[in-house]
Amino acid sequence: MSTGLYGQLITIGRGRAPASGAGNLRPTGAAPKFRIRGAAPWVGCLAALLAGRVVSAADKVDVVHLKNGDRLTCEIKRLDRSVLTVSTDPLGKASVHWGEVADVASPRKFDVQLASGGQYLGVLLASPPGQLVLGLDGGSTTVLALGEVIRLAPIGASMWSRMDGNVDAGFSFAQAELETHWTLNGAASYRGPRYQLAATVASQITVREDDDPISRNSIGLNGNRSLSNRWYTIGWGQFQQNQELSLDLRVVAGGGFGRDLVHTNRRLWSTYAGLAYTHEQFSDEPGNNSAEAALGGQLDFFTPGSDDFKFTNSIVSYFNVSGRKRIRLELQSAWRHEFLKDFYWSVNGFDSFDGDPPADQKTNDFGVSFSLGWKF
């Protein structure tokens, strides 16, 4: 979250509630009596609109206290990767870094996940700074350390409030070889109490003055379901095209099991293993189908402080188990830094390695790009 936005949030916290006594307002004179025919339907509509505003305002029943003493009355949307997303009447959707939060309270029921893998359901009771007191079913309570909480999600939240996404684009030009590089990346994710679904798209196009354009495109889909003790099941699919490697089409579908080795408000280290089916079509080559063993991992770092950055890394290695000995490797890395509310710059890198490509074809393709983006 940018410093400007944080400043706006602090302004909200310091604002005082309107003084009571609105009844002190009195008309200065008697208004003339008059009647409008057919006014009843309009009055009904106006009443319905006002009632809708009252219901909307009633949603702002959550309280967030910041470490500097400020107080936010808001609607808590979720906590994920050290960022607490809230909705406030003056600003709409906003973000607060978890490291700046002293305590939270809400009469609504939340799904709470800890770094140890523990999971609770309960209302957020008034708590001392640095703690989270949960009111559980049956009237009992439990006290948790605020720093151990890695995820919060209100029970019964709408699908849209659980979704995140981003899109960024980049451009570069090399005068020496008259090359123009275009980059486009996008992602969207949905997170429920137990499930997470995500979709990604990445496209790079290189245009040369004296040659045909070269493109690399990838679409990824994956989902996982949380199990106990930080274990999870995972399924994924991918569509790839890479002219640099003479790859017209690659389709991958796989599934397996994984575990979060470390998951805190600063980092996520995870690994998984499974089996995958792969169909490939190289230029001027017959199509090929194979079964592969997959071993993957995720190494992400993010900040719980006032400076908003993320450094994400994912790697997947494939070992052919149905034919010739062959190893493939896919690596994706990105550094993202937010410089303005919902806007960020990023440095993205990729590497695709094929240990046994078709004859006379390259074994490796890699690249780095700089882009500007927007998250939603």
User: For 338-375, what is each residue's pLDDT tens digit?
Assistant: 888 789 999 999 999 999 998 888 899 988 899 999 98
User: Phi and psi at residue 252, in whole multiples of 5°?
Assistant: -125, 135
Could you tell me the pLDDT band of residue 302, with boundaries at 50, 70 and 90?
Answer: confident
Q: How many beta carbons lie within 10 A of that of residue 138, not counting itself?
A: 5
All residues at 6 or more sequence positions from 155 whose CB lies less than 8 Å from its CB, including other chains: 108, 109, 110, 111, 121, 193
Taking the C-alpha atoms of residue 365 and residue 250, their distance in angstroms, rounded to an integer, is: 15
Q: Which amino acid is at 148?
A: E
Taking the C-alpha atoms of residue 127 and residue 61, their distance in angstroms, rounded to an integer, is: 16
Report the number of secondary-structure helices (H) and strands (E) in the chain.
Answer: 2, 21
The architecture in CATH of the region 3-12+55-157 reads Roll (2.30)
Q: pTM score, two decimals? A: 0.74
CA distances from 214 to 180, 192, 206, 238, 360 (A): 11, 39, 5, 20, 18
Could you tell me the pLDDT band of residue 83, with boundaries at 50, 70 and 90?
Answer: confident
At residue 211, the pLDDT reads 80
All residues at 6 or more sequence positions from 18 whose CB lies less than 8 Å from its CB, including other chains: none
Burial classification of residue 109, based on how many CB atoms lie within 10 Å of its CB (0-12 exposed, 13-18 middle, 19 or more buried): middle
Q: Which amino acid is at 275?
A: L
Could you tell me the pLDDT band of residue 42, with boundaries at 50, 70 and 90?
Answer: very low
Q: Domain locations in the chain?
A: 3-12+55-157, 162-375
Find the distance separating the first CA and the last CA of the chain, reported in whole Å: 13
Taking the C-alpha atoms of residue 20 and residue 323, their distance in angstroms, rounded to an integer, is: 79
Q: Which CATH number is associated with domain 162-375?
A: 2.40.160.40
pLDDT over 90, % of the chain? 50
